[in-house]
Amino acid sequence: MDLILFLVFAAIAVGCGVNLVVQRHPISSALSLIGVMGSLAVLYLLLGAEFIAAAQLIVYAGAIMVLFLFVIMLLNAGVERGVDKSRLARWLGLPLLALFLGMVSFLVRRFYPDKVSVAFGGFTGGGPADVGRKLFTEYLLPFEAASVLILIAILGAVVLARKEID
């Protein structure tokens, strides 16, 4: 049953990720990102990391996505305009992507052979104490840098929107 749930939600995550990239409207892309975050939370649940799954839903699918939608609506972003693709990119894009993915998977299998596979429900870390200890000791600087970058993005969106109104 775990394998079936994993395959279903992994397919949802990949499908929403592809939809995120190919959408022309930014709000549709943001909604696809919510689908990715929700399916990742279910995958965390399958691994036994309940706290990380809850944090994924609350922080990313909730707060960060509301912030993204707020900034998109504040900037009044419309539908993306299409551009003409070159014939070279159109005909060689997918074969070169397949070649690149094949080379990367070959290198990963060659230099990182199978040692221990992931066991569903075998994850022992990721509780509130573990996450809090790591977040406020080892990862304090990246955490604060990310919050400052988000604040700068919000201020930039407000400045851009205010110039447009005037």
pLDDT, tens only, 27-41: 888 889 899 999 999
Contact 27, 72 (CB under 8 A): yes
In whole angstroms, give the CA distance from residue 143 to residue 123.
23
pLDDT computed for residue 80 by the predictor: 62
Contact 52, 131 (CB under 8 A): yes
In whole angstroms, give the CA distance from residue 151 to residue 154.
5
pLDDT computed for residue 78 by the predictor: 64
Contact 34, 63 (CB under 8 A): no
Please choose, from the candidates 25, 26, 29, the residue with its C-alpha nearest in 3D space to the C-alpha of residue 157.
26
pTM of the model: 0.63
On the question of pLDDT at 17 being above 90, the answer is: yes
Q: For each of the domains in the chain, give its residue range(s) and CATH number, in order of start.
A: 2-79+124-165 (1.20.120.1200)
The 3-state DSSP class for residue 8 equals: helix
Confidence of residue 77 (pLDDT cuts 50, 70, 90): low
On the question of pLDDT at 140 being above 90, the answer is: yes
Contact 49, 126 (CB under 8 A): yes
Q: What is the mean pLDDT of residues 34-55?
A: 89
pLDDT computed for residue 162 by the predictor: 73
Percent of the chain with pLDDT over 90: 29
Q: What is the mean pLDDT of residues 98-127?
A: 80
In whole angstroms, give the CA distance from residue 114 to residue 101.
19
Confidence of residue 103 (pLDDT cuts 50, 70, 90): very high
